[in-house]
């Protein structure tokens, strides 16, 4: 038999282990790993013998194989204290959900690729394919033959460890925001898709670990029926922090889907000004402009200079979606003109906004049907459109992205379902 430097976990589990005197000490039940240095590294082993199950580590361990025949030889065996080691490969990874970071989806771990690196055995990849299941249950050749018979191509199903995120194997000594570091680099929309596929326990654990900004952005992308479920299961502190980072129109949309008690609790925890704003948005009838209006917008007095406007923008650091247009208003908050962000940045700093603004501003009343806002945005190629109240005072904006997400996309889904 030749020494194996790379192998699948399924090939070595339950194989016989011999000591330096060539005495049988038991069979390999599982492998303890440490996760502090990237790829999980083997640090101890769980062995089953006629006397029971025990945990030990070795001065040396080597794996030898010839086809399906594998034996394990060890030297310097000694017992260990169980509490030092938290994670077992078979128990915490096999058949568990794991996140494929590049594929941006949840996958099931069917096997693990282990490689000897600098004298240590490390998990270098996970196998999510059907062939891995066949390998584990001893029917690998049968699976291959079935695939050939039905002309099904066995695609590469190995995902390197750097491109996965375990949901269970996290270092408990790390701060809460660190364990799911790989997930935190995903776009909120991709992260939302992954969270929707998780069971409730994983979903809560992962969501609690996200920083407040990412959590807020992700919650906005999650399906409405799950938004309430997530908020309900969050700690009160985390829930308040997330909502503080969300625009009030998004909060209003979520609260409309929650039960009355939860909505009352959330509104009670908010600042009075924000709570009143959310309530006013919830009062709008469906299909009205006000029901999808964003209360976060940028407006400056007509007499401000370009320099003053730029300085204010630097201070408030507005979200990208609300700073495409700067609305210029008089002392009664009525729109007098609009300046694009591009025109503002290219203008003479000493100029006043009234000297560079575009005076013909398309606007829509807050009680009008959403379709009127859609028509104006499409006709004039607008990224957003200002909303005015009955006194013609600027009271919000409708963002084209919100129109697509809240109005057009749901309608398309309904039509698609009918077509199917």
Asked if residues 166 and 198 have their Cβ atoms less than 8 Å apart, the reply is no
Residues in the chain: 420
pTM for the model stands at 0.69
pLDDT at position 414: 47
Tokens of 409: 């996309």
167 pLDDT more than 80:
no
> Which DSSP symbol is given to 153?
-
The three-point CA angle 290-292-296 to 5° equals 85
Residue with the bigger pLDDT between 226 and 81: it is 226
Q: Work out the mean pLDDT of the chain and round it to a whole number.
A: 86
Gap between the Cα atoms of 206 and 204, Å rounded: 6
pLDDT digit string, tens, across residues 168-197: 655 443 333 345 677 888 899 999 999 998
Q: Is 140 exposed, middle or buried (0-12, 13-18, 19+ CB in 10 A)?
A: middle
Asked if residues 98 and 164 have their Cβ atoms less than 8 Å apart, the reply is yes
Query: Which structural domains are found in the chain, ordered by start?
Result: 2-90 (2.30.30.240), 92-166 (no CATH), 183-283 (1.25.60.10), 299-407 (3.10.580.10)
Which residue from 385, 302, 309 is spatially nearest to 345, judged by alpha carbons?
A: 309
Gap between the Cα atoms of 352 and 345, Å rounded: 13
**Cβ density class 390-414: b for 16+ within 10 Å, e for less:** eeeebbbbbbbebbeebbeeeeeee
pLDDT digit string, tens, across residues 196-231: 988 888 888 888 888 889 999 999 899 888 888 888
pLDDT digit string, tens, across residues 249-289: 889 988 888 888 888 888 998 889 999 999 999 999 988 99
Gap between the Cα atoms of 238 and 246, Å rounded: 13
Q: How far is CA 270 from the centre of its chain?
A: 25
Gap between the Cα atoms of 116 and 282, Å rounded: 60
Q: What percent of the chain has pLDDT over 70?
A: 90
Gap between the Cα atoms of 305 and 349, Å rounded: 7
Tokens of 208: 């609690």
Gap between the Cα atoms of 90 and 135, Å rounded: 15
State the average pLDDT over residues 290-294. 91
**Cβ density class 201-239: b for 16+ within 10 Å, e for less:** ebbbbbbbbbebebbbbbbbbbeeebbbbbbeebeeebb
Which residue from 218, 93, 111 is spatially nearest to 167, judged by alpha carbons?
A: 93
State the average pLDDT over residues 150-162. 75
């Amino acid at each position: 038999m030749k020494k194996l430097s790379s192998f699948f976990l399924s090939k070595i589990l339950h194989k016989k282990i011999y000591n330096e005197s060539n005495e049988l000490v038991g069979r390999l039940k599982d492998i303890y790993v440490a996760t502090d240095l990237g790829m999980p590294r083997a640090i101890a082993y769980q062995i089953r013998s006629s006397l029971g199950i025990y945990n030990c580590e070795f001065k040396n361990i080597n794996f030898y194989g010839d086809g399906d025949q594998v034996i394990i030889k060890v030297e310097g065996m000694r017992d260990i204290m169980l509490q030092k080691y938290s994670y077992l490969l078979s128990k915490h990874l096999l058949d568990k959900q794991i996140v494929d970071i590049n594929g941006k989806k949840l996958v099931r771990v069917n096997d693990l690729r282990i490689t000897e690196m600098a004298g240590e055995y490390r998990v270098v990849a996970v196998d999510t394919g059907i062939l891995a299941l066949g390998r584990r249950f001893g029917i690998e050749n049968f699976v291959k033959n079935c695939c050939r018979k039905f002309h099904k191509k066995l695609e590469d199903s190995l995902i390197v460890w750097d491109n996965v995120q375990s949901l269970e194997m996290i270092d408990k000594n790390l701060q809460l925001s660190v364990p799911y570091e790989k997930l935190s680099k995903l776009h909120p929309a991709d992260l939302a898709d992954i969270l929707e596929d998780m069971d409730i326990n994983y979903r809560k654990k992962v969501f609690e670990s996200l920083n407040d900004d990412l959590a807020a952005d992700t919650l906005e992308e999650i399906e409405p029926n799950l938004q309430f479920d997530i908020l309900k299961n969050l700690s009160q502190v985390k829930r308040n922090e997330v909502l503080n980072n969300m625009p009030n129109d998004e909060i209003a949309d979520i609260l409309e889907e929650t039960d009355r008690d939860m909505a009352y609790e959330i509104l009670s925890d908010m600042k009075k000004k924000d709570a009143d704003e959310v309530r006013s948005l919830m009062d709008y009838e469906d299909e009205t402009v006000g029901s999808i209006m964003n209360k976060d917008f940028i407006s400056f007095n007509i007499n401000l200079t370009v320099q003053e406007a730029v300085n204010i923008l630097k201070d408030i650091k507005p979200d990208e979606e609300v700073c495409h247009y700067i609305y210029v208003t008089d002392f009664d908050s009525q729109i007098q003109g609009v300046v694009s962000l591009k025109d503002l940045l290219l203008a003479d700093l000493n100029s006043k906004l009234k000297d560079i603004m575009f005076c013909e501003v398309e606007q829509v009343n807050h009680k009008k049907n959403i379709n009127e806002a859609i028509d104006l945005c499409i006709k004039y190629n607008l990224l957003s459109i200002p909303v005015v109240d009955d006194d013609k005072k600027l009271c919000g904006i409708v963002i084209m992205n919100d129109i697509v997400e809240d109005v057009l996309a749901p309608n398309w889904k309904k039509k698609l379902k009918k077509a199917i």
